[in-house]
Every structure is written in C-alpha cells, then in structure tokens.
Structure 1
Amino acid sequence: MTTLFRLAGRGASWRRVGKAAAAAPSGLGSFALRRRAFQGARMETGGCGGKGGGRGALVVLEGLDRSGKSSQCARLLSFLKGKGCNAEGWRFPDRTTSVGQMISAYLANQSQLDDRTVHLLFSANRWEKRGLMESKLLSGTTLIVDRYSHSGVAFSAAKGLDLEWCKAPENGLIAPDLVIYLDVQPEKASERGGYGDERYEKIEFQKKVADYYLSLRDSTWKVVDGSLPMETVEEQLRELFTNCIQQCQGKPLANLAW
C-alpha cells in the first residue's frame, strides 16, 4: 500500500535517501515467515531514549505491497535488540482483534464489503490499539510499525473515495516521529514471492496507490530506494532510525491532524 499524509502545520518535503541504484533485492524468503519474525521480535533490555531514558519513538514503514517492509522491520528490530533497546514490532491491520479478523477475511476475498465500510474498519483497527500505543511509547518502548494511517488513506483514495473523507477518521491517532517510505516500482514488487495472493495486489491499482502516497507526503517522510539490495536498504534505515531516536527525546507525543 502506498500513502503519504500531510500533518497540520508541517511543510511538505520529501528527501530521497541513498543513490538511485540498480541491484534487485535477493533472499527475501517467505513473506509469512518474515511477518512472524517481525511481529515476534521484542527488545527486552534498556531503552532507546537519551541518557536519562525518555519516551519511545514511533517509526512507521510504508510502501506498496511487497516493497520489503516486513523484511526490513524484522531486520531493524534485530539491530535494536543488539543495541539493548526496548522496542516492539507492530503491524496494521492487526488481524488478531475482532475488527482485524473481519479485515483479514475481506483481504483474503472471503467476504464482500462496501468500500466505505472497509475504510472505517481499517481505521477502527488502529483506534483499537491507540491507548496501548500511547502507554508503550510513554513508558519508553519504541514501536516499529509496518503500515499505519498512511496506507489506509492511500488505498481507499485509490479506490475512488474522497481523500478528505478518508483522512477524517484518522484525526487524533498518534502521529509518527518518522515515516520511512520504501520506494519500489509496482512492476518490480510484482516479481516478489506471493504477489497476487491478496485483494489489492494488482499492478494498475498499486500505481494509483503510489500516486496518493506522493500527493500526501510531508516533512516527517524519508524515502529509501527499496529496489536496492536488502543490506543497503537496512544500512540506510539504521541511520534514519538512530537520528530519529535522538531527535524525538524531550518532545511530547503529537496527534494526527489532517
């Protein structure tokens, strides 16, 4: 999925990280295994704050389907574990909740729902976790989130729903400290394992989603060329994440206000 959101009061800028390069990723492995590895990773020691501790950072990875988000989330969490950070991996939609189970059935083409109903279900799934997200962050736990409000708005807008209507239910959710967008062309993403298993994994639709990501970008976004080798992408994410942790210390949590 692909969406970039403008937060109130923040200027629009989009910086590409790294060189536009060529080598295609290799060794992606099973998508399901990557997802489980990401969701199961937990950092058990220390905090990611400054010398005096502090709140955790909220970092979101966004991108088209099969852009490598789950793989990079797992790698980033492993890196943080090695640094002694207290961090968790989250993913939206969270299919373990009651709302998430309805979404899962829809994505697997096991049910049919009106597009507006689907959008509100995705938003409700994020609201289900808002309280827990806030308490985790304030207690010093850093959260690496695979998809967030940005995906919800971009995908629904790509289906033809009004962009402003799509943004409205997200107002009041916690704003990310950093959004990392893995930039991969839809054609390249379609070559990766498992593509086409779910409802939205169609190249033409993904192109529309990419356009909405571009239109919704803001100053919290950093763009990484997701078609580079996995190790190169990982190195860039580590640098971005380390800078984010340092910069967010002492800053209060903010809410989305589109």
Structure 2
Amino acid sequence: MEALRGSNKKQRGALIVLEGLDRAGKSTQCAFLQKTLQEEGHEVKYRRFPDRTTEIGKLINAYLMQNAQLDDHSIHLLFSANRWEAAAEIQRDISNGITVIIDRYSYSGAVYSAAKNIPGLSLEWAWQPEIGLPQPDIWLFLNISPEEAAKRGGYGMERYENDAFQTRIRQLFQELVAREDPNNVHVVDAGRAESEVALDVIRAARRAIEEIKGTDSLKRLAALSHPASSLS
C-alpha cells in the first residue's frame, strides 16, 4: 500500500474481522468492540455475514434453518456472493474514515464448506471465490473448544451446530491461522470471561488501527499460502 502524501487527506478506517466457532461469543465481542471504539471517537459500522436481508441472504437463511436443500458447492458460492455484494460498500466506508467490524467473513466461508469433507470441496477450492475481496487489517480467531461452545445458549439450533462438525471447523481455522501472515491474525482464548476476552480483542483492534495510520487503501485477499503445521 502507498502511504498518504498529504496530511489533509482523511485517514481511512480499519477493517476488523472476528471469526470462530458457533457460540464462541463473536457477536458479543463485536458489540463490545464497537461501543469501545465509538467512545474513543471512531466512526464505526458493524456487519454480519451472512447478511440474511438480501435476496441471496434469504436463500442462505432458508438453507441454514434447514428449510431448503442445496448442493454444497452451490451454497458455498452463494455465501461468497453474499460477501461480494457488500464489498463495494465496505470499501467506500473504509475510504470515508469509517472503521468496519465484521462478524464472520471469508475465513468462515472457507472452513465451513471445507469441513464437510465433500470431494472437490477442499480448503483451497473454497478459498478461490474469496480472492479479491477486501482484506482485513486484522482478523481475530476466537478460539474455544466445541465442548465449551456447546454449553452456551442457543447451541444446536442451526445446521452446522454439532460437536463433530465444529471440531473439524476448529482444526481448519487453526490451519488458516498457521498459513496466515502473523501480523494479520490474532488468536484469542474465548473460553475466558467475557471481560477478559473483550480486553484482548480491544487491544488487538487498537494496535491494528494504529498500524494503518498513513496508509491509503485496503489490500485484497490473495491465494492461500502453502500449508504449515497447525496450532496445537
């Protein structure tokens, strides 16, 4: 990214993504983070994927609520399309100095599809439609065991909320973390008290906001790096 050449140009916003298993506390932490950053003087918007309000999102919602059956490759591409239809608006907000917090993004999209163990639906295949989307300045993986997540309210109501599937998802998230530039990702122990998790999330977000000062635009998601050993 090129540095800004003039001090009179408005500083862009940051793109911050929270990821994790179902019931890891992402929405709660997004709300805490948004409130904190706003209190610190930042203009902040919150987004959640899938966005179930769009026409594509309504199809996804029917699938997740188990009211519709779709081919696994097809539903994956719908999830990706749901992100692409928001990409231009996200970019505009960032350029206008608005920090955007996203609850689930491309990382969830790739791992949830790859976790199905469907022939031809590898992590690499699942990642391909994400290439070119706005790249977060930082993404945070809220790491929690499926057993701990299952103890939280509402678990099991949607298609993907079962222990075996969530275990595969966690393993794939850990693989993505291991393949990511360590400057772009932060792992958060989400099994702790909400206040402790929030402090960790807020510190990481503040650091990312500080590091983008003097930068002009977001990068774009690229192909996955070569596999590395996963987290223990």
**TM class, shorter-length:** 0.7 to 0.9
Partner of 1:25: none
Report the Cα offset of residue 204 of structure 1: 0.4
- SS state of the match for residue 207, structure 2? helix
Deviations 1:68-107 (A, max 9, x none): 0000000111111211210011100001111001000100
Distance (Å, rounded) in 1 between the aligned partners of 2:98 and 2:88: 14
* Aligned pairs for 1:133-152 within 5 A: 133-152=90-109
| Change beyond 3 A, Cα 1:53–1:239 | farther
Report sequence identity in percent.
45
Q: 1:96 aligned to 53, 58, 66, which one?
A: 53
Distance (Å, rounded) in 2 between the aligned partners of 1:236 and 1:168: 31
Instruction: Provide structure 2 residue ranges, at least 5 long, that are not aligned to the other structure.
Output: 1-6, 224-232
Are 1:190 and 2:155 an aligned pair? no
- Number of aligned residues: 209
Are 1:181 and 2:135 an aligned pair? no
Q: 1:242 aligned to 190, 206, 209, which one?
A: 206
- SS state of the match for residue 71, structure 1? helix
Report the Cα offset of residue 250 of structure 1: 2.1
Are 1:67 and 2:24 an aligned pair? yes
Instruction: Provide structure 1 residue ranges, at least 5 long, that are not aligned to the other structure.
Output: 1-49
Letter in 1 for 2:218: L
Are 1:216 and 2:180 an aligned pair? no
Partner of 2:72: 115
| Change beyond 3 A, Cα 1:228–1:165 | same
- SS state of the match for residue 187, structure 2? strand
Distance (Å, rounded) in 2 between the aligned partners of 1:51 and 1:216: 38
Deviations 1:146-167 (A, max 9, x none): 0000000001000122222111
Give the alignment's TM-score, normalised by structure 2. 0.88
Q: 4+ residue stretches of structure 1 with deviation over 3 A? A: 50-53
| Contact in 1 for aligned 2:45/2:99 (Cα 8 Å) | yes
| Contact in 1 for aligned 2:19/2:140 (Cα 8 Å) | yes
- SS state of the match for residue 209, structure 2? helix
- SS state of the match for residue 129, structure 1? helix
| Contact in 1 for aligned 2:60/2:78 (Cα 8 Å) | yes
Distance (Å, rounded) in 2 between the aligned partners of 1:177 and 1:166: 21
Report the Cα offset of residue 117 of structure 1: 0.5
Distance (Å, rounded) in 1 between the aligned partners of 2:115 and 2:140: 20
Partner of 2:167: 207
Moved more, 215-224 or 199-208: 215-224
Are 1:256 and 2:216 an aligned pair? no
- SS state of the match for residue 148, structure 2? helix
Partner of 1:77: 34
- SS state of the match for residue 186, structure 2? strand
Are 1:233 and 2:197 an aligned pair? yes
Distance (Å, rounded) in 2 between the aligned partners of 1:191 and 1:131: 38
Q: 1:158 aligned to 91, 101, 115, which one?
A: 115
* Aligned pairs for 1:119-130 within 5 A: 119-130=76-87
Letter in 1 for 2:152: R
Give the alignment's TM-score, normalised by structure 1. 0.79
Q: CA RMSD in A?
A: 1.3
Report the Cα offset of residue 215 of structure 1: 1.0
Distance (Å, rounded) in 2 between the aligned partners of 1:246 and 1:135: 20
Report the Cα offset of residue 135 of structure 1: 0.4
